[in-house]
């Protein structure tokens, strides 16, 4: 039996976005919604709704992607969740003045 890993995003009641990874999306969502762990971030931000998930065949791929999107801005996470790939592309452009694309030629 093939094992899959999932990276997911939850929209929380306080309008924040929680990003996580699991090997069972249904089980993990139920755990979040049931509030089994009072120390967990999502315990205080329920109710929750799943806004995005992606399946991976390798743990390492899922882990890298989760770490990557955890660093993203809220706008970028929402663009991914809404499948707005043009906006996601625009939000991915580096605006840092020191970036080589932003230097006067």
pLDDT at 1: 80
Task: Domain count for the chain, please give it.
Answer: 2
Domain of residue 54, residue span:
1-71
pLDDT at 2: 84
Q: Are residues 88 and 98 in the same domain?
A: yes
Q: Are residues 76 and 65 in the same domain?
A: no
- The pTM for the full model equals 0.87
Question: How high is the mean pLDDT in each 10-residue block of the chain (105 residues)?
Answer: 94 97 96 92 95 97 98 96 94 76 63
Q: Are residues 58 and 91 in the same domain?
A: no
Q: Are residues 35 and 49 in the same domain?
A: yes
Any idea what the CATH number is for the domain that residue 18 is in?
3.40.1440.10
Q: Are residues 76 and 100 in the same domain?
A: yes
Let me know: does 25 contact 8? Beta carbons within 8 Å: yes
Three-state helix/strand/coil letters over 21-88:
EECCHHHHHHHHHHCCCCCCHHHCCCCEEEEEEEEECCHHHHHHHHHHHHCCCHHHHHHHHCCCHHHH
Q: Are residues 61 and 40 in the same domain?
A: yes
pLDDT at 104: 66
pLDDT at 105: 57
Q: Are residues 76 and 40 in the same domain?
A: no
Q: Are residues 103 and 56 in the same domain?
A: no
């Amino acid at each position: 039996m093939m094992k899959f890993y999932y990276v997911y995003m939850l929209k929380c009641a306080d309008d924040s976005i929680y990003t996580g990874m699991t090997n069972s999306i249904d089980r993990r969502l139920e755990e979040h919604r049931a509030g089994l762990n009072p120390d967990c971030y999502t315990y205080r931000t329920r109710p929750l709704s799943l806004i995005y998930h992606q399946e991976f065949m390798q743990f390492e791929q899922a882990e890298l992607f989760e770490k990557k999107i955890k660093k993203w801005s809220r706008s970028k996470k929402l663009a991914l969740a809404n499948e707005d790939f043009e906006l996601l592309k625009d939000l991915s452009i580096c605006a840092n003045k020191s970036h080589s694309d932003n230097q006067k030629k």
